[in-house]
Amino acid sequence: MSQNSNSSKLVTVVLGALLFSLIGVFLGAIFVPGLSQRFLDPMRSATAVPGEVTEIQVLNDVPTEVAPVEITEAEVVEPIVSSNEADNGVIQSGDIEADVDGTPAISALNSARSTDQLQDTLVGIYQEVNPSVVHIFALAQNLALGSGTGFVIDDEGHILTNNHVIANAEELEIKFPGGFRTNATVIGTDQDADVAVIKVDRLPEGTRPLTLGNSTDLQVGEFVVAIGNPFGQDSSMSLGIVSAVGRGLPSDRQLPGGGSYQLPDAIQIDAPINPGNSGGPLLNMDGEVVGINARIFSETGANSGVGFSIPIDIVERMLPSLIAEGSYTYPFVGVSVSSDFGLDQAQFYGLDRTTGAYVTGLVEGGPAAEAGFRSATNEDATAGDLIVAINDIPVNTFEDMISYLYLNTSPGDSITVTVLRDGEPVDLTLTLAERP
């Protein structure tokens, strides 16, 4: 009886103490800031309070040493999510990073790393490519006509450059970056594309052909590199971006009836190129040639941030013929067109749209005339056909039309051209001729 009484008293005391402890914790959770969060969620640290010196810690399986951090108003992060990774003292909070002295990391470190990576890439491109980029001196009667740039494309000594660099030259002297000099002979030229192939009999040791890349897939904003000899300064490198693609470059050759042919898919760049860069390679960040630097738009003769390169995809299509035959034969439709016209001109042509290529002239006896195309006339500006597709590929501009022809067709091929005639689609089939 005595033992049972004592046991009852002991149980009563223990239960009372436990109840008192629970009440104390509950009151503390209400009146002490942050304690409620620690009590309710043991894997979450306290919310930072501006001006408070606290400890920000990552709850790991392995204890982590932390240092006191003063939190300012702008640096309060809510919530601070636990992580199992701490990298070089940087504590991650969701997608936000703060370093251990409380300063937001922002992207300074990543920016520095990116800059270093870009720098390493550029250095690597230059070291790999520059030995194969040459300085071309055009001479006539022992006088210098001018100079430009070229680059080696195979082990046989063929070099690509611009036609205007070597035009009218009686002698070509080639200087390699290592100082080796030799003469070159002209193998093939094309004035309309401003492309030429020349050849040296011997390449200096260590010279490797450059890799020809892909220009069709270039995107506006991509980094590009130009290497050349601006103003006679050997082996100069410049960096820029692709400013635009699909530009049209008119040929230097004037047609008997006026006007000129046009090269499609030219690449507009802001990489500084100047007189002497002509014929040099335009490179992507893999060190592949995507274009041949050809022209600048300038009112002063110096670079103004608008340069143009010949797309390498078109050049590659021409190369076998230039090397084997010395020239290239283009497909020919035999039409003159108006394209990229405004609302007033569309109304003048009797059109309800401003896209497509409107036929304004036909070459007598040419493929288009033989296929039954209709052209606008002096008497009736609304009589022409509007070209809207070739082989089911949409044609929104004249550049779309000639780009498809340059990259996909040859003389003798048959194509189906869709035109709008009196507002209705009509398919016309023609056989491409050789361009005169």
- Tokens representing 381 are 């500006």
Cis peptide before 79 (omega within 30 of 0): yes
- Residue 26 Cα distances to 37, 42, 43, 154, angstroms: 12, 15, 19, 83
Tokens at 127, concatenated: 């070291």
Identify whether 164 is a catalytic site residue.
Answer: yes
User: What residue has token string 């509007």?
Assistant: 386
Which phi and psi (to 5°) does residue 74 adopt?
-75, -15
Q: Residue 394: beta bridge partners?
A: 389
Q: Which residues contact 107 (CB under 8 A, 6 or more apart)?
A: none
From 164, 235, 238, 336, active-site residue = 164
For residue 414, the surrounding DSSP H or E stretch is: strand 414-421
354: which residues sit within 8 A by CB, 6+ positions away? Answer: 340, 341, 342, 343, 346
135 is catalytic: no
Catalytic: 93? no
Residue 412 to residues 108, 261, 390, Cα–Cα distance (Å):
59, 20, 16
Look at residues 59, 73, 71, 116 and name the one whose alpha carbon lies nearest to residue 98.
Answer: 71
CA atoms within 13 A on the CB side of 67: 9
Q: Which of 45, 158, 190, 194 is catalytic?
A: 194
**What is the DSSP-derived secondary structure letter of residue 209?**
P
Q: Is the Cβ–Cβ distance between 158 and 197 less than 8 Å?
A: yes
Q: What is the DSSP code string of 352-408?
A: S-S-SEEEEEE-TTSHHHHHT-----SS-TT-S-EEEEETTEE-SSHHHHHHHHHHH
Whole-number Å distance between alpha carbons of 138 and 166: 6
Residue tagged active-site, from 147, 278, 309, 375: 278
* Burial (Cβ within 10 Å: 0-12, 13-18, ≥19) of residue 131: buried
Residues assigned a catalytic role: 164, 194, 278
